[in-house]
Amino acid sequence: MTTERHLIVNADDFGQSHGVNCGIIETYEKGIVTSASLMVRRPAAEEAAIYGREHPELSLGLHLDLCEWIYRDETWSPLYEVVPIDDAVAVAEEASRQLIRFRRLVGQEPTHLDSHQHVHRSEPVLSVMTETARRLGVPLRDANSEISYCGSFYGQSANGYSYPEGISIDGLLTTLKTLSSGVTELGCHPGLSDNEQTMYGAERIQEVRVLCDPRVRAAIDAEEIELHSFRSIGVRGHSAC
C-alpha cells in the first residue's frame, strides 16, 4: 500500500458573489487552493467562469445548486429551493440544465461534481449525480473510495454556530499532519467581504487568511504532501474522512 499523500484543496461556491470569487482567486494565486466548484445559477458565475477559462490549471467542477438552508430561531429553515429535492425527475432536469449552463460558461466539461450544502448525499439527488458522474467519467464527492473527502476545515457547527477553531492555523496544520495516505479532497469556502447576506461571511475571510498563510505551505512541504487539482490527479471517485 502506498504511503504517498496527495491533496486536492477545493473551494466551493465559486460564482456565488463577487466577494466569494475574489477570495477563491486569492487563495488560488497566493495560497493552496487548486480546484473550485462553480455555482452556475448565481450572479457572479460568468465572472468566475471567465477567470477559469483564463486559468485552465484551476480545475472547475459543477457545484449543483438545488437549495439552501439557514439556521435561525433554533431551527433550520429553507432560504430557497430551486426544485423539490425529493422529486427525482425535477432534480434530474435541473441537474441537466445546470450542466448545460456550466458547459456554456466554461467551454468544457466539469472536472468533478459536488453540491451546495451536500444535498447529493441523500436520495434521489445521489442517484442523479452518481449517474451524471458516471457518464462524464469524473469524481463525485463521497461516491467512491479513490478520493477521500475531508470537511473538517469549516468555521461553523452543525447548527450554524461559530466554530473558529475549525478554520484556525493550528487546526489546519493538525489536519495536514494527520492526513491519510492516498488522495484527499480538502473542502473550503474562502471569500472576501461583499454585501451578500449569508450565514457564512466572516468565516470566509478567516479562511482566506489561513489558506494563504505561509506556514500552511511550509507544512505541506515538510510533510511531503503533493498538491494536485482534480485535473492533474487523474483519478475517479470519492469517500469520506
pLDDT in tens, 6-59: 999 999 999 999 999 999 999 999 999 999 999 999 999 999 999 999 999 999
SS (H, E, C) 107-159: CCCCCCEEEHHHHHHCCCHHHHHHHHHHHHCCCECCCCCCEEEECCCCCECCC
For residue 133, give its domain range: 5-240
Tell me: the pLDDT tens digits for 182-204? 999 999 999 997 766 677 788 99
The pLDDT of residue 235: 57
- The closest of 118, 122, 113 to 69, measured between CA atoms, is 118
Given the residues 12, 13, 65, 142, the one annotated as active site: 12
Enter the DSSP assignment of 119: G
Query: Rounded CA gap, 116 and 65, in Å?
Result: 5
**CATH for 231:** 3.20.20.370
Determine the pLDDT at residue 197: 63
| Closest CA relative to residue 206, chosen from 150, 174, 165, 177 | 165
Global pTM? Answer: 0.92
Cell 505551505 locates to 217
Task: Say how many domains are in the chain.
Answer: 1
What is d(CA 164, CA 34) in angstroms, rounded to the nearest whole number?
23
Q: Tell me if residue 86 is catalytic.
A: no
